[in-house]
């Protein structure tokens, strides 16, 4: 996102209204899952007392596996914005803060613990004003970050530093190419610089700057928000420009090379009129992601997928379309990140559910043009967007992160997992010190947020196989807002174990659920539960463990696991025989 100066602010507000108006026009569907956990029950309020519907028995269909929950669904996003890079990741090699080649070691350790699969960089809206040569070589060009508050941009964190960071935490790179103010040649030369081998000029230049081996680039983004800060373009205008970038941006890393194409076979197919879905591919090949829709607006998805259907993959192709949708509350920059009440809590959970409706809307369009699901839906910006903390630069988007925000993260992940056949990567905004961050830093201090703890609890779901869950989700009601009382996600992990995520949305009462897995013997469940005294509880530098997971276990009675959920909690368990 880009929000600097009046014109950008009004554009963002327009985005908010388009998101909310569209979402309110359709009733948000109830999640298809349920859950359980421990802790003393809080006294019920009038709101909860008015909704006595209990959660019904929960059944996991382990014999009906669905899609693989791609580990990249748990991706991150790091933009040159406020303290997201400088102070968050980069402190410089001469800093007293422990670091490796300028990258702070505490942050690296924390991110390795949640097994970050992919990081999107350098933006965001910053990407469409970023010129990569400013950030390579011994003499960096100092520029102004006009995208975000006119802050100085020293470019000390550039291509080599980002790739070093990615390798230190063990993640893949998702590079967002400058399509807005850049050229096809600039983008092609950047990719060549990163991936070329041998004695090419690009490879020699990279080696002179400290890196002999080519970098691995798993994803490239063909622009960002081309309906807004990236241009703006109509869908048709963007597709015309995007196709050229998709055609000329090549990855030269031998590890990612595509198989040789037998053009004699292709020629026969083309002459016979046989449709060609795609060319032969290497599973390690780079994937191209088109800049897609603004929230529930279908126009970009329709135009891009129509063009994709009519394409010849010999000339251009894409592997995904991006989607951006935030949870704003009543208005961006206005909803407090601390000290809020149940009204705000319930409203944010309701808006979080709108993600399911948005995903379904775009999936329906994509299915018409691509029933074999070659093109993924990539939700590469999402999360809660709240009022910046007092005393901070408004456009640096520094906000606190509460237990409520951790709950919304779990709900969103569950939604993405249910659509794992089409949603194959997401990137929460953002990783450090910006919006719904995993980590907050202040000089040498670091604190882990409730959202971070949710991501760590969900590690077993990376590359797990989705398992359908059925149950009566019950009801949590506050005023006119009515939500499922419990949300759940089940999957068979790479270790062969069955995992169950359980979210109790009700902030006033605990819930007990009887769970069973026909055909799977389970005598107990072990894992962790994340909760706190209040849904508004946050972790601070003075109290860094106010919200943290604690051990959880449950036992089976008469063949059913009896699971108790504390109010406003997230529980993840592993079923044991």
The 8-class DSSP code of residue 294 comes to: B
Rounded distance, CA 546 to CA 450, Å?
Answer: 9
Main-chain dihedrals φ then ψ at residue 110, nearest 5 degrees: -65, -40
Alpha helices in 215-330 (DSSP H): 235-248, 263-272, 299-310
The secondary structure of 301-319 as a DSSP string is HHHHHHHHHH--TTT---S
Selection from 74, 16, 63 nearest residue 228 by Cα = 16
Main-chain dihedrals φ then ψ at residue 76, nearest 5 degrees: -120, 170
Structure tokens at 476: 């949590």
* Total Cβ atoms within 10 A of residue 205: 14
Among 225, 335, 342, 344, the one annotated catalytic: 225
CA-CA distances (angstroms) from residue 489 to 12, 208, 426, 501? 33, 49, 17, 5
* Total Cβ atoms within 10 A of residue 149: 17
Q: Is the previous residue joined to 406 through a cis bond, with omega within 30 degrees of 0? A: no
* 172: annotated active-site residue: no
Note whether 367 and 375 are within 8 A (CB). Answer: no
CA angle 232, 13, 356 (to 5 degrees): 90
Indicate the SS3 state at residue 177: strand
Among 79, 129, 342, 381, the one annotated catalytic: 381
Structure tokens at 360: 């379904």
* 381: annotated active-site residue: yes
Structure tokens at 354: 């709108």
Note whether 386 and 329 are within 8 A (CB). Answer: yes
Catalytic residues: 225, 381
């Amino acid at each position: 996102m880009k929000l600097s100066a009046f014109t950008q602010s009004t554009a963002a507000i327009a985005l908010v209204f388009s998101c909310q108006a569209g979402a309110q026009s359709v009733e948000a569907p109830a999640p298809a899952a349920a859950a359980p956990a421990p802790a003393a029950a809080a006294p019920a309020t009038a709101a909860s007392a008015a909704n006595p519907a209990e959660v019904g028995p929960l059944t996991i269909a382990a014999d009906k596996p669905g899609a693989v929950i791609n580990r990249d669904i748990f991706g991150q996003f790091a933009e040159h914005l406020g303290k997201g890079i400088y102070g968050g990741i980069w402190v410089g090699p001469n800093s007293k803060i422990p670091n490796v080649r300028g990258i702070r070691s505490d942050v690296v350790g924390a991110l390795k613990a949640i097994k970050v699969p992919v990081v999107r960089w350098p933006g965001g809206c910053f990407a469409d004003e970023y010129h990569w040569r400013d950030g390579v070589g011994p003499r960096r060009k100092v520029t102004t970050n006009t995208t975000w508050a006119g802050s100085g941009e020293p470019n000390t964190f550039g291509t080599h530093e980002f790739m070093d960071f990615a390798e230190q935490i063990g993640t893949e790179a998702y590079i967002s190419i400058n399509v807005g103010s850049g050229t096809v040649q600039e983008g092609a030369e950047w990719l060549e610089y990163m991936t070329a081998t041998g004695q090419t000029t690009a490879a020699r230049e990279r080696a002179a700057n400290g890196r002999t081996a080519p970098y691995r680039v798993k994803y490239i983004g063909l622009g960002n928000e081309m309906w807004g800060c990236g241009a703006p373009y109509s869908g048709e205008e963007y597709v015309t420009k995007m196709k050229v970038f998709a055609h000329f941006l090549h990855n030269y890393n031998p590890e990612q090379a595509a198989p040789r194409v037998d053009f004699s076979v292709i020629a026969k197919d083309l002459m016979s009129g046989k449709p060609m879905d795609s060319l032969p591919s290497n599973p390690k090949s780079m994937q191209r992601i088109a800049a897609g829709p603004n929230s529930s607006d279908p126009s970009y998805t329709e135009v891009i997928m129509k063009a994709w259907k009519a394409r010849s993959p010999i000339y251009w192709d894409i592997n995904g379309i991006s989607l951006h949708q935030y949870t704003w509350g009543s208005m961006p920059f206005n909803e407090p990140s601390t000290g809020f009440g149940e009204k705000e809590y319930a409203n944010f959970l309701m808006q979080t559910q709108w993600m399911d409706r948005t995903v379904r809307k775009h999936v329906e369009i994509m299915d018409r043009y691509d029933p074999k699901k070659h093109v993924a839906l990539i939700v590469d910006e999402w999360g809660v967007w709240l009022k910046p903390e007092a005393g901070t630069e408004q456009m640096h988007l520094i906000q606190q992160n509460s237990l409520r925000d951790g709950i919304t993260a779990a709900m969103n992940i569950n939604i993405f997992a249910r659509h794992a056949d089409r949603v194959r990567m997401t990137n929460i905004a953002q990783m450090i010190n910006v919006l719904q961050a995993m980590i907050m830093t202040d000089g040498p201090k670091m604190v882990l947020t409730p959202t971070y703890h949710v991501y760590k609890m969900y590690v077993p779901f990376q590359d797990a196989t989705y398992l359908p869950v059925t149950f009566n989700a019950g009801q949590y009601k506050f005023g006119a807002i009515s939500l499922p009382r419990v949300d759940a996600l089940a999957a068979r992990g790479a270790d062969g174990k069955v995992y169950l995520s359980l979210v109790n949305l009700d902030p006033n009462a605990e819930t007990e659920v009887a769970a069973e897995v026909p055909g799977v013997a389970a005598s107990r469940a072990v894992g962790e539960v994340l909760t706190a005294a209040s849904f508004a509880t946050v972790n601070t530098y003075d109290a860094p463990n106010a919200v943290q997971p604690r051990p959880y276990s449950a036992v089976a009675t008469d063949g059913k696991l009896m699971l108790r959920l504390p109010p406003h909690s997230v529980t993840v368990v592993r079923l044991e025989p």
